[in-house]
């Protein structure tokens, strides 16, 4: 890719990451303005809109760590974000760059919470009878979708499905 085209390609995906983080933050702001901490509103028989905090990692791992985890997870998010920006910049395939951008946008949405609130605000609660999946947020959705896309594109690239890179290198 030429320099200008590569820069435009990168900026488009970084812009998408920014939109994800901003949308996530806007929803979190609405949740905090409209609901008390711990409040739950039943939307359907399997979904609640909630206002809860997560001071730990996924599924509240290390949530009772005494505060060290906030700085640890901020540091990890900064390093991972830098790596993702480089991967987006170096990517030559849109699907791959989109996947990295989704993970980056989600990571930014959650790290903003950790920096300014000391915890991540979660608001989506799916359940079946008495079983509840841990509450999560839009940032988490994009992280998971991005990781799935990375795995799928990696798997299909290894199998040669839709991958012209080998043909370009050999031809």
- State both tokens at 106: 């989600």
Q: Is 39 helix (H, G, I), strand (E, B) or coil?
A: coil
For residue 24, indicate whether it is catalytic. no
Which whole-number Å values give the CA distances from 171 to 8, 69, 158, in the listed order? 28, 50, 18
Marked catalytic residue, from 24, 113, 125, 140: 140
Catalytic residue (choose from 24, 113, 122, 125): 122
- Helical spans, DSSP H, in the chain: 3-34, 68-90, 94-117, 138-159, 165-170
Q: What is the largest CA-CA distance in the chain?
A: 62
The answer to whether residues 107 and 80 touch, using CB atoms and an 8 Å cutoff, is: yes
Q: Is 113 a catalytic residue?
A: no
Round to whole Å and give the CA distance between 108 and 71.
Answer: 15
Alpha carbon distances (Å) from 77 to 73, 87, 121, 149: 6, 15, 16, 19
Q: Would you name the residues annotated as active-site residues? A: 122, 140
């Amino acid at each position: 890719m030429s320099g200008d085209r590569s820069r435009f390609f990168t900026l488009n995906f970084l812009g998408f990451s920014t939109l994800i983080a901003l949308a996530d933050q806007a929803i979190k702001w609405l949740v905090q303005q409209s609901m008390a901490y711990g409040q739950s509103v039943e939307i359907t028989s399997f979904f609640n809109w909630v206002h809860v905090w997560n001071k730990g990692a996924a599924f509240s791992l290390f949530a009772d760590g005494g505060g060290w985890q906030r700085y640890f997870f901020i540091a990890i998010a900064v390093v991972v974000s830098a790596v993702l920006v480089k991967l987006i910049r170096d990517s030559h395939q849109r699907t791959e760059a989109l996947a990295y951008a989704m993970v980056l946008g989600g990571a930014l949405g959650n790290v903003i919470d950790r920096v300014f609130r000391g915890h991540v605000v979660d608001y989506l609660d799916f359940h079946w009878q008495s079983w509840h999946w841990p509450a999560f947020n839009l940032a988490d959705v994009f992280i998971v979708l991005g990781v799935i896309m990375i795995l799928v594109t990696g798997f299909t690239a290894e199998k040669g499905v839709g991958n012209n890179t080998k043909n370009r290198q050999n031809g």
